[in-house]
Chain A
Amino acid sequence: MTMLPKAVPGAKKLGLVVDLDTCVGCHACAVSCKEWNTGGEAGILPDYDRYGPEPDGVWLNRVHSYETGAGGTCRTVNLPRSCLHCEDALCVTVCPTGASYKRAEDGIVLIDPEKCIGCKLCSWACPYGAREFDEDGGVMRKCTLCIDRIHNEDLPEAEREPACVASCPSRARHFGDLADPQSKVSQLVKERGGVDLMAELGYRPTNKYLPPRKAAIPTGPREAPARDASGIGGALLRLLDRALSR
């Protein structure tokens, strides 16, 4: 059923909040996502040309690094990119088979691998490039918000969170109910001014990103001016430098 679900009063909107201030770009979330989901219910996330010159494969989470600003305010921003479980998910409505759907009870966008015909239209409809095609299975793949962890009663309660959140060493990833204004994630979004990615496209993503804080430490030129190496010490250093450069 690819119509978007009608809003149910009191329904959850499960999603992620990613802190761009504390994300260090270590890719641990991407790797643990790959690890968990390749062994998950939907089957392996394939890799192609594993040891060849053009290794490639399906990942549901990808970490980009960007340089932003200029001069003294220049900084690195790391951006983990995965499905944002949008409220106006065009990837769902364009699906001709009903394989792509959004759950009414918690807002998670999923693909039914038994119904997907692999037409790839949903990946074209996603502005975030969050869907990747599984060449081996002939079906589309995407982030499931680790649905087989978060609702898994075989796991201890503390572990019922997405693999990417559990593995983040800088605690830059948070999981929770964004429909509940009192939840930890909603509070974080409120305090830190969480934003939507590409808000102008109007997909109304559930996942939010917390912008980098203003740098509190003044960053002047980092390199000390070269000191003039004169005198006997300088001569010795030059000698040493020549000897080592040989």
Chain B
Amino acid sequence: MRPAASVLLLTTLTGFGYGLLAWVGAYAALGLLSTKPWFALGAIALALLLASLGLIASTLHLGRRERAWRAFSQWRSSWLSREGVAAVLTYPVAIAFAAAVYRDGSGVAARALGIAAAAASLITVFCTSMIYASLKPIRQWHNAHTAPDYLIYALFSGAVLLALLHAAVFGTPGAAAAACVACAAVALIAKGLYWRHIDAQTTLATLASAIGLPKGTEAKPLDAPHFTENYVLREMGFTIARRHSAKLRRISLVTGFAAPLGFSLIAGLSWLPRTATAAALACAVVGLFAERWLFFAEATHVAALYYGRRI
């Protein structure tokens, strides 16, 4: 599948934004925000800003942007519609949460709304993941890994961002460093398991079944309907060389998860916490972008079979 900038930005930026909001909500629920209302308010604002940028980026690939409001209507069947509804509903919840924190960071209202904001954030990320997980023609997405992985990466992104904010304001990353280490380790393992899963998958269909011939019939393309690339091939026939994907996998594992894990550990031990958390964030951004690019680039669509492409 073509790794379009709009969807890469959508999924990574909303991961950082909603991940951060989920952590701030969790902090409030645990009563860790009592002495830090301005810090929490700043973090909530940043979270909403990042999520909004991601959502705006996602509208860039629309053919008719002025009609985007229509996308809120089909929540009964469409995960894309549900994502839109969940994203919009997260705003009032987050604003109410911010107001409660401003009044009393350790009050019952702040704790309850913290849980609500965290839930709304994670539900939105879950809806995004299900857009991909529900697409049956794409074996690399339509599996049990996609949804939990997206949630893990969002929580990891948010933890890395929160650790940096905490270190920048208070000098230490606090409990966020431990969250970073734990999330990075889980994310690293999850990504490894995902790749092992998609590498072992059998293809969903064959050219023979795609053209209605009995299973096992030999078939190969003779003449294509057109000589140049068309929409279907551009969008769904994207292929990436194996050696490139192997290299990018290493880059995203090391830069995206292993390096932030190491830097967060260093920050957690109070060695150069500001520098270390900043380095963790920088690595996570680059690594997650590579990881997300691969999520699209490695995904194959059965329609490409008609053109004799490997899926």
Contact = CB atoms under 8 A, between A and B. Distances in A.
A177 B302 CA distance: 28
B64 interface: yes
A98 B237 CA distance: 27
Nearest to A198: B205
Interface string A126-155: 111100111101111000000000000000
A27 B223 CA distance: 12
A4 B61 CA distance: 26
B73 A197 contact: no
Interface in A77-121: 77, 79, 81, 90, 92-99, 115-121
A214 B230 CA distance: 34
Contacts of B252: none
A27 B67 CA distance: 36
A211 B213 contact: yes
A203 B213 CA distance: 17
B236 A119 contact: no
Given A63-B225, A124-B137, A132-B232, A139 B77 contact: no
Contact of B205 (A27, A56, A127): A127
A97 B217 contact: no
B207 A98 contact: no
Contact of A68 (B131, B217, B230): B217
Interface stretch (B79-87, B98-106, B254-262): B79-87
Given A70-B218, A90-B136, A97 B67 contact: yes
Given A95-B74, A98-B70, A124-B1, A64 B306 contact: yes
B231 A127 contact: no
Contact of A201 (B78, B137, B226, B235): B137
Contact of B80 (A76, A119, A212): A119
A125 B235 CA distance: 12
Contacts of B208: 68
Given A96-B78, A117-B67, A69 B218 contact: yes
Contact of B70 (A66, A117, A124, A125): A117
Contacts of A119: 61-63, 71, 80
B63 A137 contact: yes
Contacts of A217: none
Contact of B81 (A64, A79, A96, A128): A96
Interface in B94-148: 131, 134-138
Contact of A198 (B81, B226, B302): B302
B209 to A, nearest CB: 5
Interface residues of A, number: 70
Contacts of B78: 2, 93-96, 121
A190 to B, nearest CB: 16
Interface string B207-231: 1111111100111111111101111
Contacts of A99: 70
B286 interface: no
Contacts of A135: 63
B228 A56 contact: yes
Contacts of B212: 20, 79, 195-197, 209, 211
Contacts of A11: none
A2 B209 CA distance: 28
A138 B2 CA distance: 18
A99 B78 CA distance: 12
B303 interface: yes
A126 B73 contact: no
Contacts of A125: 135-137
A201 B71 contact: no
Contacts of A97: 67, 70-71, 73-74, 81
A117 to B, nearest CB: 5
A133 B236 CA distance: 12
A62 B226 contact: yes
Of all A-B residue pairs in the complex, the 9 with the closest CB atoms, nearest first, are A118-B63, A138-B63, A129-B303, A62-B225, A96-B81, A97-B70, A96-B71, A65-B223, A127-B137
22 contacts: A1-B74, A2-B77, A56-B230, A64-B224, A65-B222, A68-B213, A81-B225, A93-B78, A94-B78, A94-B134, A98-B70, A116-B63, A116-B64, A117-B63, A117-B65, A121-B80, A121-B131, A128-B306, A133-B235, A137-B63, A140-B63, A212-B213
Interface of B: 1, 61-65, 67-68, 70-74, 76-81, 84, 131, 134-138, 204-205, 207-214, 217-226, 228-232, 235-236, 301-304, 306-307
Given A129-B304, A201-B302, 16 more contacts: A2-B78, A27-B225, A59-B230, A64-B221, A64-B306, A68-B218, A92-B77, A96-B78, A118-B62, A118-B63, A118-B64, A120-B235, A121-B131, A124-B137, A125-B136, A138-B62
